[in-house]
Amino acid sequence: MTTQERIDEAMRAVGKSFEDDEAALNRLRNTITKYPKVTLQDAWDALPMLFWLGILDADQLSSMPYSEFLQTPYWIAVSDHVKTRRPWCALCCEPFAGPLEVHHRTYKHRGDEWRHLDDLTVLCRECHEWISQKGRGK
C-alpha cells in the first residue's frame, strides 16, 4: 500500500465527525498501527496528522531530556527529511565529509521543528562538533 493510500484510508477512518467521535479516533489509531513497516518518508508524511490528533505533542517533546528527544521517532523522521533535502555539510560544503548530522540553530521551536525547517542545518560530524564547542565557548 502506498503512502497516499495509507493516508486516504486513515482519512476515511476519521471521517468528518472526528472531533466528536471517539470510535473514529480509535479506528485511525488502529489503521496507523496496522502498518509496522513504516518508512521514514511515511513518518514524515504522517507528522501533520499525528500532531492534529494529539498523538504527538510539541510541548511534551520540548520538555523531555534532549538525549531522549534525539532518540524519538519524531526527531529521526525530521532529521532524515532535512538530510535528504540537503545532503551536504552547510559549513565545509562537502557532500561526503563523513556522517551527516542535523544541528539546531535555535531551540526555540524544539518539538515543532517540522514547521520550522530553517531552524535546522545539516553538518558533517566534524563541523557539528566544532560548532557545538564554539557555542559552549571552548
Q: What average pLDDT does range 108-120 have in this prediction?
A: 90
Q: Is the pLDDT of residue 91 over 70?
A: yes
Please provide the DSSP assignment of 30-69 as one string. Answer: HHHHT-----HHHHHHHHHHHHHHTSS-HHHHHHS-HHHH
Q: What average pLDDT does range 61-84 have in this prediction?
A: 87
Name which residue leads in pLDDT, 74 or 108.
108
b/e per residue, 80-98, with b = 16+ CB within 10 A?
bbbbeeeebbbbeeeeebe
Name which residue leads in pLDDT, 94 or 77.
77
Q: What is the dihedral of CA 19, 35, 87, 74, to 10 degrees?
A: 50
**pTM confidence score:** 0.64
Q: Is the pLDDT of residue 119 over 80?
A: yes
Share of the chain above pLDDT 70, in %: 61
pLDDT reported for residue 3 = 52
Given pLDDT bands bounded at 50, 70 and 90, which one contains residue 132? confident
User: For residues 62 and 110, is the Cβ–Cβ distance under 8 A?
Assistant: yes
Rounded distance between C-alpha atoms, residue 17 and residue 13, angstroms: 10
pLDDT reported for residue 16 = 41
Name which residue leads in pLDDT, 53 or 137.
53
Given pLDDT bands bounded at 50, 70 and 90, which one contains residue 14? very low
Q: Is the pLDDT of residue 83 over 80?
A: yes
